Amino acid sequence: MGTVTAAVTHEGQPAAAGRPGRPLIVTEDEDLLDDLLRLCAAAGATAEVHHGVPQPRGSWEAAPLVLVGDDAARRVRGAARRRGVVLVGRDQDDSGVWKRAVEIGADHVLMLPDGEQWLVDRIADVTEGVGRPALTVGVIGGRGGAGASTLACALAVTSAREGLRTLLVDADPLGGGLDVLLGGESTEGLRWPAFAASRGRVGGGALEESLPRLHSLRVLSWDRGDRIAVPPQAVRAVLAAARRRGGTVVVDLPRRLDDGVAEVLAQLDLGILVVPAELRAVAAAGRVASAVGMVLRDLRVAVRGPYTPGLDDREVARLLGLPLMGEVPVESALQRPQGSGSPPGAAARGPLARFCKEFWERALAETGAA
């Protein structure tokens, strides 16, 4: 078929960099319009539609992306030159499309249907704006019952309380559901199975709006159904969309590693291994650290008491050969049943919340996101 998209060099004034907004579609071809609206929806965007250059021309100049149907090329010849114009057609054999692209000052020529994924990605980029990706932290237990899910929830609750856009991701389908731990299992919104068919690009804004909102943060958890796995491609697409929104993403990781978990590990900025200060727990945590460390370079240990005689937090970190994040405070939130009372970290002056706040301050400073 040949190349689907290609750049056309031209001189012109650049549009405002990174400005989110609605893409502009210019066409009278109803079939093409249906396709372009479908692709905008796939990218989580709502488009503005005109048959020619909008009058007045504010929309033409302000739109982050302009999609001009090949049928409308002649009608936009006199429009002001700007960046972010894509000429969209269907006829791969029409050599005249390049001339028309130069005449309207297009950056790219795109042919459907081959160029659909490129266009979805491009629409998502410009409508979401350009910014720093979310600081993404994974929490995993050194053994069962280590308190990793509780710490993950506390980190997310603390991040949201500090005013950061926050998403808490439950990557453990056998863990009972983080929405339960947060007391929101009946809250409306999508769960993991709804994203099982996701491929390619997922719109970050659309993802965020579709998820349950609990304690000022968004939660992606599991429903009560039978599905216990999501294809790795879907995991990759969903987590990438979450990271593009900025702020923080906290992932509660299972101790078993499969292809889906490997996709999560590949997108983490750092991991926290929660280890009770017991010799058997340290031994089990060593195996977990070895497996996780094959993918994740920055893995740190958080130690939880009470301590076995002869062990302290520094000794646990030394035995595991990992940097010490700190000692997780002993708090009633770590011991009460799931779903009872307020969520972990909800008490802003409690020891667990203070521990989490100090962690975010250090981590954000290290990554330059503070």
Interval 158-189: pLDDT, tens: 999 999 999 999 999 888 788 888 888 888 99
Q: How confident is the model at residue 10 (pLDDT cuts 50, 70, 90)?
A: very low
Give mean pLDDT, residues 56-66: 87
CA distance 366 to 369: 8
In this structure, the dihedral spanned by the alpha carbons of residues 213, 214, 217 and 223, taken in order and rounded to 10 degrees, is -70
Position 1 pLDDT exceeds 60: no
Alpha-carbon distance values, 307 to 194, 276, 328 (Å) = 42, 8, 12
Taking the CA atoms of 201, 204, 208 and 210 in sequence, report the sign of the dihedral they define: negative
Pairing outcome for strands 48-50 and 24-26? parallel
Compute φ and ψ for 85, nearest 5 degrees. Answer: -100, 130
pTM: 0.72
Closest C-alpha among 76, 126, 127, 120 to residue 102 = 76
Q: What is the pLDDT of residues 337-361, one digit of tens each?
A: 444 568 898 899 999 999 999 999 9
Q: Collapse the DSSP code of 257 into the 3-class scheme (helix H, G, I; strand E, B; otherwise coil) and give the result.
A: coil
Position 2 pLDDT exceeds 50: no
Q: How confident is the model at residue 226 (pLDDT cuts 50, 70, 90)?
A: confident
Contact 96, 71 (CB under 8 A): no
Q: How confident is the model at residue 130 (pLDDT cuts 50, 70, 90)?
A: low
Q: How confident is the model at residue 95 (pLDDT cuts 50, 70, 90)?
A: confident
